[in-house]
Structure 1
Amino acid sequence: MDHSRARYPFSIVWTPIPLLTWLFPIIGHMGICMSSGVIRDFAGPYFVSEDNMGFGRPTKYWRLDPSKVKGGPATWDRAVVEASEEYKGRMHNLCCDNCHSHVAMALNLMEYDNSSSWNMVTLCFLSLFHSKYVSFGAWLKTWLPFLVLIVIIVLTVYFTI
């Protein structure tokens, strides 16, 4: 892991989406890293970004085990490239076909952990429980806006009663 260069080999990375993550902190933008650590993410309609995530540098990463991929690093990279090529031809849909779906397709293509049933909901929750923040500042970037909103709501309710 190289936090200064945002290199997270064999990892799923995540970053907050302004406004959306502020209201729902478990919802954010996801990408998947090549064996070299280069990030690929479905950043918008017909566009897969390489090493420049759609909403900024990763705040969390979930390191996966490359030994759970038949064929090792070459299969991992091939699956990430194949999923990226597929998603370069797709329209982005926030609810149904999004960055999480792109990562799920890559994991399905490589049959990570002998599974081909990865999906965006599973990834959302597994990432929530298995990811590590890259720093305390990254944790603040994710949670501080939400906590400020909660405090404002609580104070507003308290002082209007």
Structure 2
Amino acid sequence: MSPGRLSIMELKPIYDIENANSELWPLGEIDPKKAKFPCCLVWTPLPVVSWLAPFIGHVGICREDGAVLDFSGSNFVNVDEFAYGAVARYLQLDREQCCFPPNLVGHTCKHRYKHAEYGTAITWDDALQSSMRHFEHKTYNLFTCNCHSFVANCLNRLCCGGTMGWNMMNVAALVLFKGHWVDTVSILRSFLPFTLVLCLGIFVVGWPFLIGLLSFSLLLLGWFLLGTYCIKNLLDC
């Protein structure tokens, strides 16, 4: 073989990497009974917190094989064992809307250099694995570094939807407004405790309880809005 030339066997790995984005293998079916949600965002209510504010819950993101990954404790990412119960709501994302560059020139997003510096991946699972390694050295905190932070990190590595602006707020809004309920039981499990707490509180305390509950929800929402959009790096994880 003449110098400077590559053999067919040497070229094949390069060809495989460059075609990884165009040859995405088919995903399996979503199967709630087996807790398999390929390439989905998943959500479940949190004990106590969701009883007071049902729009707040625990989120995770799933691998291509459907296994759920979720940041549920300091230095710990759950694999295929969703914390706080079964999935109640899910949203499948389109891998075609993500950027899997084999090199700097191969970026399909508009954030070539920013995406490369942040950390790119050549497959969906590769991005999730990188985020797992990152969050295995993070301290969990409900108010600053939580499960939503982990999912946002994954989506930014994927440049999902052509954007790297994923954060706690838009991840939560995406699942809240576009997510699909698994079944009727999931809806009851998400809202029945809140309804019971609300009715009991009004019965025992009266209407001031409703005002207090509304204030609690507004304070939580205000904190995350302030930390995400007003005070830079406050919720950086």
Instruction: Specify the TM-score bucket, using the shorter chain as the normaliser.
Output: over 0.9
**What CA distance in whole angstroms lies between the structure 2 residues aligned with 1:49 and 1:106?**
14
Choose which of 128, 137, 141 in structure 1 pairs with 2:176: 128
Any gaps of 5 or more consecutive residues in structure 1?
Answer: none
Q: Pairwise CA RMSD of aligned residues?
A: 1.6
Greater radius of gyration (CA): 2
Alpha-carbon distance in 1 for matches of 2:127, 2:53: 30
What secondary structure is seen at the aligned counterpart in 1 of 2:176? helix
| 1:70 has 2:99 as partner | yes
Give the TM-score, by structure 2 length. 0.64
Task: Please give the alpha-carbon distance, in whole angstroms, between the structure 2 residues aligned to 1:50 and 1:43.
Answer: 10
SS in 1 for 2:37: coil
Residue 42 of structure 1 is matched in structure 2 by 71
Partner of 2:215: none
Q: Out of 123, 131, 138, which is 1:83 matched to? A: 131
Partner of 2:221: none
Give 5+ residue unaligned stretches, structure 2. Answer: 1-29, 102-120, 208-237
Using the alignment, how far apart are the partners of 2:99 and 2:164 within structure 1? 13
Matches within 5 A, 1:93-104: 93-104=141-152
Q: C-alpha separation between the residues in 2 aligned to 1:2 and 1:114?
A: 28
Matching residue of 1:112: 160
Shift in Å at residue 155 of structure 1? 3.1
**Relative contact order (alpha carbons < 8 A, sep ≥ 6): 1 or 2 greater?**
1
Q: How far apart, in 1, do the equivalents of 2:137 and 2:177 lie?
A: 31
Q: 1:144 is aligned with what amino acid?
A: L
What is the DSSP-based 3-state SS (H/G/I as helix, E as strand, rest coil) of the residue aligned with 2:59? strand
Q: SS at 2:161's partner residue?
A: helix
TM-score normalized by the length of structure 1: 0.93
User: 1:75-119 CA deviation, whole Å, 9 max, x = no partner?
Assistant: 211111111111111100111111000000000001001111100
Distance 1:12 1:126 in 2: 9
The CA deviation string for residues 26-51 of structure 1, in whole angstroms up to 9 with x for no partner, is 11111000011111000100000000
Runs of 4+ in structure 1 off by over 6 angstroms are none
- The residue identity in structure 1 corresponding to 2:66 is G
Q: 1:23 touches 1:146 (CA, 8 Å); kept in 2?
A: yes
Aligned pair 1:52/2:81, yes or no?
yes
Which residue of structure 1 aligns with residue 58 of structure 2? 29
Which amino acid in structure 2 is aligned with residue 100 of structure 1?
H
**Count, aligned residues:** 158
